[in-house]
Amino acid sequence: MKIIIQKFGGTSLATQELREKVAAIVKKSKEEGLAPVVVVSAIGRNEDPYATDTLLNMIKKTNTNPSLRETDMLLACGELISGVLLVNQLLAMDVKAHYMSGQQAGIVTDGQYGAAHILYVDVKNLISLLENNITPVVAGFQGVSENNEITTLGRGGSDITASALGAALQADIVDIFTDVEGVMTADPRIVKNARLLDAVTYNEICQLAREGAKVVHPRAIEIAMQGNIPLRVRSTTQLDSAGTLVTNSLRSAYGAAPMIRDRLITGVTYASHIVQVKIGNDTLENEVADIQLKVFQALAKQDISVDFINVQPNMLVFTVPEDLAEVTVKILNDIDIFPHLEFNCAKIAVVGAAMTGVPGIMAKILEALRDHNIPLLQSGDSYTNIWCLVAGKHMEEALAALHDKFALGKNSDG
Ligand code: ADP
Ligand code: MG
Q: What is the pLDDT of residues 280-303, one digit of tens each?
A: 866 556 667 788 888 999 999 998
pLDDT of residue 281: 66
pLDDT of residue 251: 57
Q: Tens of pLDDT along 294-341?
A: 899 999 999 898 999 998 888 899 999 999 999 999 999 999 899 999
Which ligand has the nearest atom to the CA of 45? 1
Nearest residue by C-alpha to atom 9 in ligand 1: 215
Residue from 236, 233, 315, 241 nearest 280 by CA: 315
CB 350 within 8 A of CB 325: no
Dist CA 150 CA 393 (whole Å): 41
Fold for the domain defined by 2-256: Carbamate kinase (3.40.1160)
Nearest residue by C-alpha to atom 4 in ligand 1: 9
Atom in ligand 1 nearest the alpha carbon of residue 183 = 24
Dist CA 346 CA 307 (whole Å): 12
Measured in Å, residue 134 CA sits from the centre of ligand 1 at: 30
Measured in Å, residue 9 CA sits from the centre of ligand 2 at: 6
Nearest residue by C-alpha to atom 5 in ligand 1: 215
pLDDT of residue 7: 98
CB burial readout 204-234, b (16+ within 10 A) else e:
bbbbbbbbbbebbbbbbbebbbebebbbbbb
Helix orientation angle between 16-31 and 68-92, rounded to the nearest 10 degrees: 70
Which ligand has the nearest atom to the CA of 40? 1
Measured in Å, residue 220 CA sits from the centre of ligand 2 at: 11
Report how many helices (DSSP H) and strands (DSSP E) the chain contains, helices first.
Answer: 13, 18
pLDDT of residue 71: 97
Which ligand has the nearest atom to the CA of 78? 1
Atom in ligand 1 nearest the alpha carbon of residue 9 = 3
Nearest residue by C-alpha to atom 12 in ligand 1: 215
Given a cut of 70, the residues of the chain with pLDDT beneath it are: 250-258, 281-287, 412-414
Atom in ligand 1 nearest the alpha carbon of residue 45 = 2
Q: Is 162 in the pocket of ligand 1 (CB under 6 A)?
A: no
pLDDT of residue 357: 81
Measured in Å, residue 25 CA sits from the centre of ligand 2 at: 19
Dist CA 151 CA 148 (whole Å): 9
Question: What is the phi/psi pair of residue 42, to 5°?
Answer: -70, 150
pLDDT of residue 414: 47
pLDDT of residue 76: 97
Which distant-in-sequence residues (6+ apart) come within 8 Å of 296 by Cβ? 306
Which distant-in-sequence residues (6+ apart) come within 8 Å of 193 by Cβ? 403, 409, 410, 411
Measured in Å, residue 44 CA sits from the centre of ligand 1 at: 13
pLDDT of residue 134: 98
Give yes or no on whether 2-256 and 267-405 have one common fold: no
| CA-only gyration radius of the chain, Å | 23
In this structure, are strands 173-178 and 3-8 parallel, antiparallel, or unpaired? parallel
Q: Is 183 in the pocket of ligand 1 (CB under 6 A)?
A: yes
Q: Which amino acid is at 295?
A: V
Measured in Å, residue 95 CA sits from the centre of ligand 2 at: 26
Atom in ligand 1 nearest the alpha carbon of residue 177 = 3
Which ligand has the nearest atom to the CA of 408? 1
Task: For ligand 2, an ion, list residues with CB under 5 A.
Answer: 9, 156
Nearest residue by C-alpha to atom 11 in ligand 1: 215
Residue from 410, 18, 37 nearest 235 by CA: 18
Dist CA 35 CA 377 (whole Å): 52
Question: What is the phi/psi pair of residue 383, to 5°?
Answer: -75, -5
Q: Is 41 in the pocket of ligand 1 (CB under 6 A)?
A: yes
As its CATH architecture, domain 267-405 has: 2-Layer Sandwich (3.30)
Q: Where are the domains of the chain?
A: 2-256, 267-405
Measured in Å, residue 74 CA sits from the centre of ligand 2 at: 19
Q: Is 213 in the pocket of ligand 1 (CB under 6 A)?
A: yes
Which mutation among 8, 178, 181, 268 tests ligand 1's pocket best, with the greatest number of atoms within 8 A of CB?
A: 178
